[in-house]
A and B are shown apart, each in its own frame.
Chain A
Amino acid sequence: MIGQLSKAAGRFPRLVVGGRDLTLEVAFTALILLLVAVAATTSDTFLTQTNITNVLKQMVTTGLLAFGMLVVILTGGIDLSVGSVVALSGILTAGLVSGLPIPVAMGVGIIAGLAAGLVNGTLVARFALAPFVVTLASLTTVRGLAFVYSEVPIAPEDPAFFTLGSALLGPIPVSTLIMLVVFVAGGVFLSRTPAGRSIIAIGGNAETVRLAGINVRRHVILAYAISGACAGLAGVILASRVGIAQPSVGVAFELDAIAACVIGGASLAGGRGSVRATFGGVLVLVLINNLLNLYGVQSFWQQVLKGLIIIAVILVQRTPRST
């Protein structure tokens, strides 16, 4: 296999290896390596074990939310409720551990997320409501439910509650491994299973898919359910890592998740997006966050810079329109 640069497809030169366009992969790897290099040379703390573990743990929430978001975005939808679901599943789990075995309590948290996703998906698919409006409504409803359950933060005392979020397997946090498993399984799901292929096709042209005998509604509901379950899992892991569950946690988490997908080249119109590139988007976001923290940039400026960087990355990776 010989790599070749071709200027064929658009404004930026494309790198094609064995018939596959690897431009995006190479660009991402380069960008991430660049970020790592800049971080390693300008900060004494970046390469320390503590910081690396920290980064690995931090990326779990964004990563899980981004994968779920990608599945929904592929159908041509959007899930704005994930931040609220993180809060609800976290506080539910933390509240239940006093009376239930920890794995069961955590299971309930994940199922709460799944249920929120099922409701979102049903409203979108069955009643043909706009995804933006449905999930905006559940953003506030689910947040409200989290506060209804407990107005104050809940801090479980059983140390076993912290295991999921803080345990290490060798140098790598268990929670990071869980996220990686989700991404690998998710990649297989989207590329190799009929349901995954259908979800992508629905975002491209739902009518064509419906006439091919595929149940469009069921697959749309499935997509939101996956997003809800991922958010539920993220909420449980986050509560376990921080050691305390707050009903106010997760505000604007949906934005990072959407940003990761879009940085990874997903089209908000649906039908186009990649699991690997979304993972790259997560890495980019987390590294930028970490860098700005290490530099001690004030958090409001961090928000400003992050927004600008997202725009810059999207401009560079924008795929040219094919004719």
Chain B
Amino acid sequence: MILELRDVRKDYGGVEVLHGVDLQGRQGEVLAVVGANGAGKSTLIKILAGAQPMSSGEMWMDGERVELRSPHDAHDKGVRTVYQELTLVPELSVTENLLMGDFPRKRGLIDWSAAHARARELLESIGFGAIDPRTKAGRLTVARQQMVEIAKALVTEPRVLVLDEPSAVLAGSDLESLFALIRRLRERGVLVIYVSHRLAEILELADSIVVIKDGKVIETTEPARTSEDDLIRRMAGRKLEQIYPDRRQERGDALLTVTGLTRRGEFEDVSFTLHAGEIVGLFGLVGSGRSEMARCVFGAEPATSGTGAYRSPAEAIAAGLALVTEDRKRSGLVLGMSVRDNIALTTLRGPLIDMGRQRRDVAGMVDRLSIQPPQCASMPVVRLSGGNQQKAVLAKWLLAEPRVLLLDEPTRGVDMATRVEIYRMIDGLARSGIGVLLISSDLTEVMGATDRVLVMAEGRITGELRSDRTTEDEILAYSMGQHA
């Protein structure tokens, strides 16, 4: 036993969010933590990382009681945490980000060649040798940045490694490298605490699984004794018939026709048509140009050539488009403002805003999407859990009554139960005649929730497949450009 939490409680301003969590982790174990949004996973991670003190309870390591008062304390005890949000300094090289001040020196000055060599050695030793340590961190893809974050936690060998949704931005071979790394760490005796919404990978990777619901551990189990359906049911506390709604919908008129759209350096000659009442998936690995293409159609970036894209977001919105971007913190929400101000952002009309109407509209949306807690309208939007923040972004766009919905990774970092709600909602919107483009790097989602799938690779559309007649392998092959 190297890590034990006993009856850990945490309250924020009198509201208890963890109600006595017990957790035990052994050396050389992969311990998965799963739970719906708002279940208390993030709080638990912050306590393990020393970023938040527990209100009561105890933490033991190797039979000794420890108190983590700061991230520094956690570091000293060998507990490293890799958060979902990237924390690299974009203007500094990978080497500088990794070594962070602890540079090899020669005659008092930094020995750069030795520093880069040490960084390269570290990256290679954990299977991330493809990353050049001299590159500025900000110029790496999000997936590569995530890998550097993980490497940073391994500069000195940790005893406990906490990974918060490490796979959310990874796909293909990057994901394989991550899994291989986790397995090697396990062999070396590290306790890996793995928080993820991707249940399939948890079943593949974990030694034990802890299910958290409403701030309590409700089950501790093993992959062999459970299944995806079983876990979903426990997390959500109800029986879910299936995750994705049945899609047998007649499609209507063309709503959005894009022809030969090109934005130099990002994507080329993209053509597709989106019809009323259909859900079209767009699959592509990180760097395939899928998000850039959607932003360009929406008028957020100018196109080099081709037709179908709008000239500005205002024009796109006037034409009935809505874009839910992949990064809600950077481009979906104004974090310092209230839930109401955020949701009302697409429908500010003057000269004087009708406050009564705004209040009613927002309350209606909070109710329709069941954003939790129900009385959240005047709360700062940052206080909502990830899934509910995502719902707030959706609410903002639904209030604008769009006819075409461009959704870029709408379920990233969102737990399974909320995902199911989002799939139901998208299905309902399509049934009411809205056309939906669902951009996703999640294969099951892009097949399950859609009518047909477009696949992008290296800036081009390489395939179009019917969702009910394709396979994961086929989509992956197109996404690596193998069929083109």
Contacts and interface: CB of A to CB of B under 8 A. Distances in A.
B335 A205 contact: yes
Interface in A204-242: 204-205, 207-215
A208 B336 contact: no
A204 B333 CA distance: 9
Contacts of B341: 197, 200-201
A49 interface: no
Given A19-B378, A194-B350, A201-B341, A207 B336 contact: no
B353 A213 contact: no
A211 B300 contact: yes
B396 A192 contact: no
B89 interface: no
Contacts of A208: 331-334, 345
Interface string B368-393: 00000000001010110000000000
A322 interface: yes
B323 interface: yes
A211 B297 CA distance: 12
A212 B313 contact: yes
Contacts of B317: 212-213
A322 to B, nearest CB: 6
A322 B383 contact: yes
B101 interface: no
A267 B352 CA distance: 26
B52 interface: yes
A41 interface: no
Contacts, number: 85
B336 A213 contact: no
Contacts of B349: 194
B345 A207 contact: no
A198 interface: yes
Nearest to B337: A204
A24 to B, nearest CB: 16
Interface of A: 6, 8-9, 19, 188, 192-195, 197-198, 200-201, 204-205, 207-215, 267, 271-272, 322-323
Interface of B: 12-14, 52, 298, 300, 312-314, 316-318, 323, 325, 330-337, 341, 344-346, 348-353, 355, 378, 380, 382-383, 396
29 contacts: A6-B13, A188-B352, A192-B353, A193-B350, A193-B351, A193-B353, A194-B349, A195-B350, A197-B344, A197-B345, A198-B348, A201-B341, A204-B335, A205-B335, A207-B331, A209-B334, A210-B300, A211-B298, A211-B331, A212-B345, A213-B312, A213-B313, A213-B317, A213-B318, A267-B336, A322-B380, A322-B382, A323-B12, A323-B52
Given A193-B353, A213-B316, 17 more contacts: A9-B13, A192-B353, A193-B351, A193-B352, A194-B353, A200-B337, A205-B336, A208-B331, A208-B332, A209-B345, A210-B300, A211-B323, A211-B331, A212-B345, A214-B345, A271-B336, A272-B336
